[in-house]
Amino acid sequence: MLEFFKDYKKFAFFFILLSAVIITVFYSILSVDKVLPIWQPASVNQELVDTTIQHVKKYHKIADFSLINQNGKTITQEDYKDKIYIADFFFTTCPTICPIMTDHMYQIQKEILDDDEVMLLSHSVTPKIDSVAQLKRYAQQKGVNDKKWNLVTGDKKQIYELARKSYFAVLTDGNGDEYDMIHTENFMLIDKERRIRNYYDGTDPEAIQQLLEDLKTLKKEYD
C-alpha cells in the first residue's frame, strides 16, 4: 500500500509538472502580440493599382513626394520621416463621402493630438479646384490642426501616381483625361518605413475604431 502511494505521488508530481509546461506553452502561443500585415500591390484590389506594378509582391513603399499644404508650405516625405501616419484622398467640394471621411479624420486627430509619433495626410484629387486658399478655408471649417494634419494639393500627375502606384486608393475616371481620379473611402495606415499596414473604410465608425486599435498595435512594434 505504501509503495502504491509513493508511485501515486511520483505520478501526481509528473502530471502537475507536465500540466504546467502545457499551460505555459499555450499561454505563450495565445499571448503573442498581433502583427499587422504589410500590403503589397499584388495583394490589393487590382482596380486600384497601376498596371505597371500589379505583379509586385514585396518591398513596396510609398514614393517620395513634394506637395503644397493648406498654408502654402511644401510638404515632402521628410515631414513624415520616422512617423506613423494615416493617409486618404478627398476633394473639398465633394458632397457625398468626403464630409464623413473628414469628420472621422478629425476624430482621429483628437485621439493623436498629443502623440508626436503620429500624423495625418489628406491628398486632393482635384488640385486645380483645391488651391492653397481653398484648402485653408476647408481646414479652418473642419478644425484641422496644422501641426498634425496636412491637406495637400499640387501637380495632378504626381497625385495620381501617388494614388495609383503608392497608396492604391483611387480608381481611374475613364473619361479621356489620363489623370482623372475617382477616390475611394479608404484610409491607409502607413508605418515608419513608409509601408501600407492596413486599409479602413473612412465612412464607417467601427472601422475607425479598428484603425485606432491597430495604431496602438503598430506603435508597439517601435517600443
74 lies in the same domain as 19: no
11 lies in the same domain as 47: no
83 lies in the same domain as 16: no
What is each CA distance from 92 to 119, 139, 168, 193, in whole angstroms? 20, 9, 20, 29
153 lies in the same domain as 196: yes
Q: Determine whether the annotation assigns residue 123 to a binding site.
A: no
What is the band of 12 on the pLDDT scale with cuts at 50, 70, 90? very low
134 lies in the same domain as 51: yes
- Return the percentage of the chain with pLDDT > 70, whole number: 84
Whole-angstrom Cα distance, residue 11 to residue 34? 38
63 lies in the same domain as 163: yes
**Per-residue confidence (pLDDT) for residue 178, from 0 to 100:** 76
Whole-angstrom Cα distance, residue 187 to residue 70? 20
79 lies in the same domain as 119: yes
Q: Determine whether the annotation assigns residue 104 to a binding site.
A: no
94 contacts 124 by C-beta, under 8 angstroms: no
Q: What is the pLDDT of residues 114-164, one digit of tens each?
A: 999 999 999 999 999 999 999 999 999 999 999 999 999 999 999 999 999
C-alpha cell at 3: 509503495
Owner of C-alpha cell 493648406: 70
Task: Read off the pTM.
Answer: 0.85
CATH number at residue 48: 3.40.30.10
Give me the domain span that covers residue 21.
Answer: 1-32
**Per-residue confidence (pLDDT) for residue 30, from 0 to 100:** 43
96 lies in the same domain as 10: no
**Per-residue confidence (pLDDT) for residue 26, from 0 to 100:** 45
Task: Please give the tally of structural domains in the chain.
Answer: 2
151 lies in the same domain as 171: yes
Owner of C-alpha cell 506553452: 25
| Alpha-carbon dihedral sign for residues 202, 204, 205, 210 | negative
